[in-house]
Amino acid sequence: MPLEHWDQLKELVFNLWWSWNPEGKKLFRMIDPILWEEFRENPVKLLECTECVNKVLQKPEFLNQLGYVYQLYRSYLETPGPYCSKCRRPIAFFSPEYGLHHSLYIYAGGLGLLAGDILKEASDLDFPLVGIGFMYPQGYVRQRIRPDGWQEDVLNHIHKEEMPVRKVFDENGQWLKIYGYCYDEKVYAGVWEVSVGRIKLYLLDTDVEENAPWNREISYQLYTPNQETRLKQQIVLGFCGMGLLHRLGIEISGVHINEDYAALALVARLLYFHKQGLSFEEAREMVRETSLFTTHTPIRAAINTYPFALIEKQFAFLWERYELDREKFLDLGTNPQNPSEGFNSTILALRLARYANAVSRRHGEVSRKMWHFLWPERSEEEVPIDYVTNGVHLPTWIDDDLRVLLSDYLGARWLEVHESEALWQLVDLIPDEILWKVHRDNKVELLHLIKERLRKRWAEKSFDPSLVIAQGAFLDPDFLTLGFARRMTGYKRATLIFHNLERLKRILLNPERPVQIIFAGKAHPQDQPGKQMIQKIVLLAKDPELAGRIAFIEDYDQELAYYMVKGVDVWLNNPLPPLEACGTSGMKAAINGVLHLSILDGWWVEGYNGKNGWAFGEEPVEGDRDPQDAEALYRILEEEVVPLYYQWDETGIPRAWVQKMKEAMKSIVPRFCARRMFKEYVARFYQKIDQAYEEFLASSKKASPEEKTA
């Protein structure tokens, strides 16, 4: 095996750039198409099959593709991007989870997928960002459905050697480990590196031999139910994360924390500046002016709040080792209206970050109302919580064939300017039959994936035969297909469509215009109502009267999400307003021409224009709104969605439906892509943070504190 080719292949494998570039995926598929599918598109596992790799490296067509892809990759890395000089120093992005690819299972849901999309977009724009997160040896729970419909939570033991991650080594060739303190104990975290195009993501792993058994398990699992372990996770993420940046000599201009889980990074930075000679108030102001906090939670009960006794126990090292005033620290996270409720991570973040944002316009209104009590002297409109509506990384979520099609009609370089609204007007040039064929092929691919997953489960021999139909064996690509896939929890109201079961049966079982619904999603292990919701769906999916028109696909992950958002006809969304902060799955569907049927909440308040999907629920309702919302949902399905879908012409094309698909793409994609979102973050926050840090350096007669440790 030529060493040069091997090195090139290995470099490509360990940079997730390939995951949003079709030519990269094509290269790995050429090694062995069957193993590529069997390994669920994990090139690290594929590379372990040295016999396959040696064999394919003898083939000229593979070497040509390798050379071509490697050239694309190196050009991407080495050509300066449009945002490479927007800030003088990197912004550190802290998040508890990252959804980058299903081969790197360190995510639970939408928060992680958004974080992954942010890193990818930063890479595409060549913006100086560095990511900090956790390596979770058990990841997030896998889902198994019992014959009675109940979700079983299966611990997921990750094989790190099969993931696209690499250890970071120190100057002595040893695995780099950073330490912090929990209680009075040193806690070590080994450091892993993930290459996300031009961006580096560093993952902290407490499962190292230097730690006591109870500290090794700190990073075992994402969103652990144990409150003390969760607090330790926040300590490690914040303190070890900031310590790692200093250890690597990365001088940052500021910090962006993605939800309150990473709030202690701001405390760690404050203490660092304090230790370098600034007073507590000076250090606090410095951190405030160079920090951004993004909140995703519109429900007070879901905020991380800890008893003061637990805080006293775990943070004793602060006042002992850093000589921090105990009361000053506790005040940062205390609710002035109800001091006894405990130490609140979101209050801490809001007090230490000059900039704060919600993730949609509606969520901004909800957040300002929810946190108004922290600024009683201001009107609700003046509460300093802005909003940046989420967006999704288009190259990750768009179908590969649709991507090629758009190149034919929007121009070969359309991806470089895909946030342009004028560009998307060219979608009208695509012939209806061609766009419909791409969509129809995507539906066939989705059903193939579902049945392939079912085949693998059947081969395990522990799979109950009664679940075969419930998990999609009878799904038909000719039927109008609704998709509902997201976290299964009460306010998402997955079972709203079952409110009037007889009426739903008439919709689904119409012999001339049949309809089917595909559900997927996990409930948090502690969310019993969420599990009951899943059970209700599964039991209905098993009902012979429904003839397989309802399916629940177990173990929802990024792979299934990708196939669902491009393979269903309608994306269904009906959370209880105003509890949907944003929601991004509907944006991913719209990228692929899938139409959105949603209650007016989250991003859809901004996205709906009357022609690009369907909306309901704008009227305020006193008390239980399920009956009214279910009625509106049935009416739209019966009178608008189903008739429009089945208006096929003599060639079998539903032309009015395809026109609506085009309208969705034209009106939604440029406004709800991660490119637009990230540019907003840069212009409204990152550049101001960078300038504030620059002014701090200029006003200081000494070198920056970070420079001292570089």
For 434-459, letters b (16+ CB in 10 Å) and e give ebbebbbbbbebbbebbeebbeebbe
Per-residue confidence band for 709, with pLDDT thresholds at 50, 70 and 90: very low
Cβ distance 231 to 268 under 8 Å? no
Cβ contacts of residue 657 below 8 Å, gap of 6+? 595, 644, 645, 647
Per-residue confidence band for 708, with pLDDT thresholds at 50, 70 and 90: very low
Cβ distance 100 to 133 under 8 Å? no
Worst-scoring range by mean pLDDT, 17-21, 197-201, 301-305, 603-607?
A: 301-305
Cβ distance 472 to 451 under 8 Å? yes
Sign, CA dihedral 348-350-356-357, equals: positive
Task: For residue range 310-348, list pLDDT tens digits in order.
Answer: 999 999 888 877 778 889 999 999 999 999 999 999 999
Q: What is the pLDDT of residue 710?
A: 35
Instruction: Tell me the whole-structure pTM to 2 decimals.
Output: 0.96
What integer best gives the mean pLDDT of the chain? 95
Q: Quick check: 674 pLDDT over 70? A: yes
Q: What is the pLDDT of residue 555?
A: 95
185-203: average pLDDT: 98
CATH 3.40.50.2000 residue spans of the chain: 91-138+195-204+231-390+676-709, 396-672
416-432: average pLDDT: 98
Per-residue confidence band for 701, with pLDDT thresholds at 50, 70 and 90: low
Closest CA to 591 of 111, 17, 20: 20
Cβ contacts of residue 699 below 8 Å, gap of 6+? none
Per the listing, tokens 């139409």 go with 595
Alpha-helix runs per DSSP H in 471-607 = 501-508, 528-541, 558-567, 585-591, 604-607
Per-residue confidence band for 633, with pLDDT thresholds at 50, 70 and 90: very high
Task: For residue range 438-454, list pLDDT tens digits in order.
Answer: 999 999 999 999 999 99
Please, which residues bridge with residue 343 across strands? 306, 334
> Which DSSP helix (H) or strand (E) runs through 194?
strand 185-196
> Which amino acid is residue 700, in one-letter code?
S
Q: Quick check: 402 pLDDT over 60? A: yes
Q: What is the pLDDT of residue 618?
A: 84
Q: Specify the fold of 91-138+195-204+231-390+676-709.
A: Rossmann fold (3.40.50)
Per-residue confidence band for 2, with pLDDT thresholds at 50, 70 and 90: low
Q: Specify the fold of 396-672.
A: Rossmann fold (3.40.50)
Q: What is the pLDDT of residue 298?
A: 86
What are the angstrom distances between the C-alpha of 262 and each of 134, 255, 600, 659? 11, 10, 31, 44
676-682: average pLDDT: 99
Task: For residue range 572-596, list pLDDT tens digits in order.
Answer: 999 999 999 999 999 999 999 999 9
106 DSSP 8-state letter: B
CA 558 to chain centre: 9
140-146: average pLDDT: 93
Q: Quick check: 115 pLDDT over 90? A: yes
Distance (Å, whole) CA 394 – CA 402: 12
Closest CA to 436 of 647, 271, 158: 647
Q: What is the pLDDT of residue 325?
A: 85
Q: What is the pLDDT of residue 544?
A: 92
Cis peptide before 577 (omega within 30 of 0): no
Q: What is the 3-state secondary structure (H, E, C) of 584-625?
A: CHHHHHHHCCCEEEEECCCCHHHHCCCCCEEEECCCCCCCCC
Task: For residue range 366-397, list pLDDT tens digits in order.
Answer: 999 999 999 999 999 999 999 999 999 999 99
> Which amino acid is residue 35, in one-letter code?
L
| Structure tokens, 367 | 């957040």
CB atoms within 10 A of CB 152: 13
Per-residue confidence band for 503, with pLDDT thresholds at 50, 70 and 90: very high
